[in-house]
Structure 1
Amino acid sequence: MSGKRNSFFGIFICDLISKFNKYFLNINYILIQQYLIKHLSSKKMNKIILNKVYKTSELIFIGLLIPTLILVYRLAENVILILWLITLYGGFIYLKYHNRSNLKQIMNFQAFTKKNVNIILVRWLLLTIVIYLITFYFYNDKLFTIQKQNPYFLIIIFFVYPILSALPQEFIFTTFFFNRYQNLIPEKLQILTSAIIFTYAHVLFINFIAPFLSIFGGLIFANTYKKTNSLALVTFEHSLYGNSLFFMGLGYYFWGGSVSIT
């Protein structure tokens, strides 16, 4: 009787171990399968996103096709929304595939040195005088337009423009551009290419003054970022010029309403 009990107990234990092993192996198989699928798909996605053909197509789409579509379909009034959609896409690609730094490192506030700020301010003051002279002699009807019509709106612009417009523009045309496309464009041509794309993005306003001034702004901003690697500093600089343009009156040519001008 004792032998039968031992035999039964042994069979029970063996059966239990067999079922456990089968269950355990199935669980492991499923987990390994899911891991491999996730790992391989992630690896495949990395390969696609970092592929030169994909990046070239992406650059053409962002730098050429989107501004052209905005121009053709008269979507300039929605340019801020479109700008932020591109920024969200670029931010995801930048953080996931190019730079896992935190926001503080991306902004790089340490670049706000006395030397850098002085260079930016002196250059801005000199060019603001040029902007005033251009407005006074060639676009006198626009000089101080906002102050005359709605001075409170100008104050709003001073606070809103840096965040809603300057920040996403500089992320796209400097931070994202220089990190994403550095292996596509020779280093000597990167600043010029950034400025050209920045300029073409302003053609959508359908006037001469926006792209004309943008080529100079694009060169200045790209050069600042290239030297400092600071999104915060180049956004600050861009905001100075943008607010000066609105203050003088030429900002009229940089908002969506200017597309009605012929």
Structure 2
Amino acid sequence: MPTQPAPTDPRPRDASLGRTLWLAAEFVALFAVGPLLHYAGVLRPPLLLVIWVIGLAALALLWHDPTFDRRSLWRLGGTGGRVGAMLGRWAVATLGVAGLTAVFLPDRFLWLPMNRPGLWLLVMALYPIVSVLMQGVVYRSFLFHRYRDLFPTPTTMIPAASAAFAFGHVIFHNWLAVALTAVGGVLFALTYHRTRSGLFASMEHVLYGNMLFTVGPGVYLVMALSDR
């Protein structure tokens, strides 16, 4: 007579469910509620301060997590073969954005380098350090590691990371910024997924960000940031 399998201990499942619910609530609070409060004017801390406070907190959590590979923050080994493809995508995107901007937003085409060259150079130099550095930590290194159980497959993680990145830009009150960062979010998340290199994904982020500031659409972000 076959024996009946022993009942499984419900405690691990309960603990797993509890952790999943906690992570889901944390994800929504950080990547949805926070930007919405800023968008609605309920909270208006300086944006760069917010980026750095959250980024440093995320970095501290990762640094003290024994399951996190710290080398993924800066390693470039194995990414050499992807440089050509990354630059090719960027070149095509640059031509496309330049053409669309010249046709549909002609007053913004090359506005920043032509009208505010000093500010443009400042943005080119500081944007990678002041903005992209911590965004890379939060939206890629931290998000991919912290919420890997919530989004366990690339088909769930990449859309989640892209949506979080795009929705974070509602604070600019400009839906073009949200649309552009949704596309960028997919590209950067895919790059991080394929390379597991935060630095390489951030390099791609810098290329696209500085391109947008130069060609035209990014000027809306500069203006919005200066207003806040």
1:235 to 2:202 alignment: yes
Which residue, 105, 110, 133 being the options, matches 2:99? 133
Q: Give, in angstroms, the shift of residue 69 of structure 1.
A: 1.2
Where does structure 1 lack aligned partners over 5 or more consecutive residues? 1-46
1:64 to 2:64 alignment: no
Taking the aligned partners of 2:23 and 2:57, their CA distance within structure 1 comes to 13
Q: 1:96 to 1:52 in 2, by over 3 A?
A: farther
Where does structure 2 lack aligned partners over 5 or more consecutive residues? 1-14
Taking the aligned partners of 2:152 and 2:72, their CA distance within structure 1 comes to 25
Which residue, 105, 110, 117 being the options, matches 1:151? 117
Give the conservation status (yes or no) of the 8 Å contact 1:207–1:258: no
TM-score, normalising length from structure 1? 0.74
User: Comparing both structures, which one devotes a greater share of its residues to helix?
Assistant: 1
> Partner of 1:26 in structure 2?
none
Matches within 5 A, 1:1-262: 51-73=19-41, 78-97=46-65, 99=67, 101-102=69-70, 104-113=71-80, 115-187=81-153, 188-255=155-222, 257=224
Alignment length (residue pairs): 211
Q: Secondary structure at the match of 2:46?
A: helix
Taking the aligned partners of 1:173 and 1:98, their CA distance within structure 2 comes to 20
Q: Give, in angstroms, the shift of residue 107 of structure 1.
A: 1.3
Q: Give, in angstroms, the shift of residue 67 of structure 1.
A: 0.6
Q: Give, in angstroms, the shift of residue 57 of structure 1.
A: 2.1
Taking the aligned partners of 2:174 and 2:49, their CA distance within structure 1 comes to 21
For the aligned residue pairs, the C-alpha RMSD in angstroms reads: 2.3
State the structure with more CA Rg: 1
